[in-house]
């Protein structure tokens, strides 16, 4: 059996030393994987229960055109999201073009001129710098007279509670908390830590709106930030909650008032949630959500597997192989552009789509240094599908995520190791 598997991998470009090394790593992960299975099982029940409670029926898949009035499928979808995230309401739309758009919508709909936004967890995701106006940009919050304050995490990754207390002032209207590390080498925040942070902030300023950028975090844990006090949780449907099937879209889940403001901003004052044709994507959104706990499970296992592989070889991996997981991202620091690119070439070569192309570093809108990206996805740019990327700058870290199945992601990681092995810079 094992011999046959080795032959299959051999035909797919995996040499014997790489195969044997990875087989040894996987053997040691049995208990970690069982824990991940258990979380997925609970989250599957959560999604299923929400679908039953909202009486999801075949009629919901019909879709609408034009204004999209009385779209029962859209209403069921949003009811289901609200129940899964345990919020009063939700906005889940194909008209929300990506995660950045969902976050910009969340910020721009709640903030008014003269208000201040606070990030108590350091620098936000690269693309949000232009939304906020940290880097000058047309249409930013700064252009509308909305100011921004940031409190960095302390060197050990903990919250700077003293600094946060000082930063809160009369203008502080909204707080943005990024769950996932993004392109920063800091720990991802657990839902529990986010809860403690929100409690601290609300004790000082109860009316502040706490938003969590939930990108890459959905279904990794048993609960979501909306269960520990967040007024808004926001994310992309071509990441975790789309389950690989959503072809586009974003979501906001939160309090009735926050969602109403977001809807009036997305469509128009007066119209809000009542319009927005779904054009037939509702069944893909729902089927993707249904699969999401399982898909995320595979992606988390892949991240743990990658961490173990590269940590065993002496590279710094974030999170390390013992830490608990709060998102699907695995960072590996190579401190070497050649190894970083070799890693990405391996991921690309393992893809079902575009496996024959070679990723090259390029200038990407919204990012301030060149970025290399490996992705061969059914949905363009989807990063719940196996993908790897990272900015070409110290520490030359690759951020690896996704995989619609663990089997594919595992092969991708083995292929990345194969390419790195071939540079002659590592020994197995
Ligand atoms: C991906 C991501 C975003 C932006 O999403 P896009 O869909 O790429 O625009 C924002 N924040 C975090 C933490 C992300 O991972």
- Residue 1 pLDDT greater than 60, yes or no: no
Q: Is residue 428 part of a domain?
A: no
Q: What is the pLDDT of residue 187?
A: 85
Closest atom of ligand 1 relative to the 128 alpha carbon: 10
Q: Is residue 330 part of a domain?
A: yes
236 ligand 1 Cβ < 6 A: yes
Q: What is the pLDDT of residue 350?
A: 97
Residues 257 and 369 grouped into a single domain: no
> What does the pLDDT look like over 177-217, one tens digit per residue?
999 987 777 889 999 999 999 999 999 999 999 999 999 99
Q: State in Å: Cα 34 to ligand 1 middle.
A: 29
Q: State in Å: Cα 54 to ligand 1 middle.
A: 29
Q: By alpha-carbon position, which residue is closest to atom 8 of ligand 1?
A: 99
Q: Look at residues 278, 304, 320 and tell me which one is the last residue of a structural domain.
A: 278
Residues with Cβ < 8 Å from 399, sequence gap 6 or more? 183, 329, 330, 331, 388, 389, 390
Q: Look at residues 278, 306, 325 and tell me which one is the last residue of a structural domain.
A: 278
Residues 148 and 260 grouped into a single domain: yes
State which residues form the domain around 38.
5-43+290-421
Residues 139 and 186 grouped into a single domain: yes
Q: State in Å: Cα 376 to ligand 1 middle.
A: 18
Q: State in Å: Cα 247 to ligand 1 middle.
A: 16
178 ligand 1 Cβ < 6 A: yes
Q: By alpha-carbon position, which residue is closest to atom 5 of ligand 1?
A: 99
Helix (H) or strand (E) holding 130: helix 126-132
Residues 270 and 297 grouped into a single domain: no
Residues 217 and 321 grouped into a single domain: no
Q: Is residue 298 part of a domain?
A: yes
Residues 71 and 201 grouped into a single domain: yes
Q: Is residue 58 part of a domain?
A: no
Q: What is the pLDDT of residue 249?
A: 98
Q: At what angle do helices 16-27 and 282-312 cross, to 10 degrees?
A: 100
> What does the pLDDT look like over 371-389, one tens digit per residue?
999 999 999 999 999 999 9
Q: What is the DSSP letter of 226?
A: G
CATH of the domain at 185: 3.40.640.10
Q: Is residue 54 part of a domain?
A: no
Residues 144 and 274 grouped into a single domain: yes
By most ligand atoms within 8 Å of CB, the mutation choice from 236, 246, 249 for ligand 1 is 236
Q: Is residue 55 part of a domain?
A: no
- φ/ψ region of 231 (left if φ > 0, alpha if ψ in -120 to 50, else beta) reads alpha
3-state SS class at 69 = coil
216 ligand 1 Cβ < 6 A: yes
Strand ranges of the sheet holding 232-236, from the earlier edge strand across to the other edge: 89-93, 250-254, 232-236, 209-213, 172-178, 116-119, 147-150
Number of domains forming the structure of the chain: 2
Residues 294 and 264 grouped into a single domain: no
Closest atom of ligand 1 relative to the 103 alpha carbon: 10
Q: Look at residues 278, 302, 332 and tell me which one is the last residue of a structural domain.
A: 278
Task: Give the C-alpha separation, 208 to 172, whole Å.
Answer: 7
Residues 126 and 253 grouped into a single domain: yes
Across the chain, mean pLDDT equals 96
Closest atom of ligand 1 relative to the 181 alpha carbon: 13
CATH of the domain at 383: 3.90.1150.60
Q: Which two tokens stand for residue 186?
A: 């800091």
172 ligand 1 Cβ < 6 A: no
Residue 330 CA to chain centroid, in angstroms?
12
């Amino acid at each position: 059996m094992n011999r046959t598997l080795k032959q299959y991998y051999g035909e797919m470009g995996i040499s014997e030393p790489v195969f044997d090394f990875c087989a040894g790593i996987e053997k040691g992960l049995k208990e970690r994987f069982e824990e991940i299975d258990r979380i997925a099982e609970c989250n599957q029940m959560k999604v299923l229960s929400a679908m039953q409670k909202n009486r999801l029926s075949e009629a919901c898949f019909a879709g609408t055109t034009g204004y999209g009035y009385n779209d029962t499928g859209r209403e069921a979808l949003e009811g289901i999201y609200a129940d899964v995230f345990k919020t009063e309401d939700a906005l889940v739309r194909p008209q929300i073009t990506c995660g950045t758009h969902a976050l910009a919508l969340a910020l721009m709909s709640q903030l008014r001129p003269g208000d201040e936004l606070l990030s108590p967890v350091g620098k936000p995701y690269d693309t949000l710098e232009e939304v906020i106006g940290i880097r000058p940009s047309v249409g930013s919050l700064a252009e509308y007279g909305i100011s921004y304050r940031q409190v960095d995490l302390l060197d050990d990754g903990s919250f700077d509670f003293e600094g946060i207390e000082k930063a809160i002032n009369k203008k502080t209207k909204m707080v943005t908390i990024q769950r996932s590390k993004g392109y920063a080498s800091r720990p991802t925040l657990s839902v529990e830590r986010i809860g403690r942070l929100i409690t601290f902030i609300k004790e000082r300023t109860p009316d502040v709106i706490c938003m969590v950028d939930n990108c890459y975090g959905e279904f990794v844990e048993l609960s979501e930030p909306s269960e520990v006090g967040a007024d808004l949780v926001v994310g992309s449907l071509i990441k975790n909650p789309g389950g690989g099937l959503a072809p586009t879209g974003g979501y906001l889940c939160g309090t009735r008032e926050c969602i109403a403001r977001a809807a009036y901003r997305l469509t128009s004052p007066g119209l809000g949630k009542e319009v927005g044709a779904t054009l037939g994507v509702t069944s893909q959104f729902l089927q993707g959500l249904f699969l999401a706990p399982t898909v995320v499970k595979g992606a988390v296992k892949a991240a743990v597997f990658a961490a173990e592989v590269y940590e065993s070889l002496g590279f710094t991996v974030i999170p390390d192989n013992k830490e608990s997981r709060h998102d699907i991202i695995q960072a590996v620091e190579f401190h070497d552009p050649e190894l970083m690119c070799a890693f990405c070439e391996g991921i690309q070569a393992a893809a079902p789509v575009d496996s024959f192309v070679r990723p090259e570093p390029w200038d990407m809108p919204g990012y301030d240094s060149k970025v290399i990206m490996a992705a061969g996805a059914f949905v363009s740019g989807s990063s719940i599908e196996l993908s790897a990327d990272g900015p070409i700058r110290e520490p030359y870290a690759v951020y690896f995520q996704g995989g619609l199945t663990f089997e594919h992601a595992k092969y991708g990681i083995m292929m990345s190791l194969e390419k790195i092995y071939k540079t002659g810079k590592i020994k197995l």
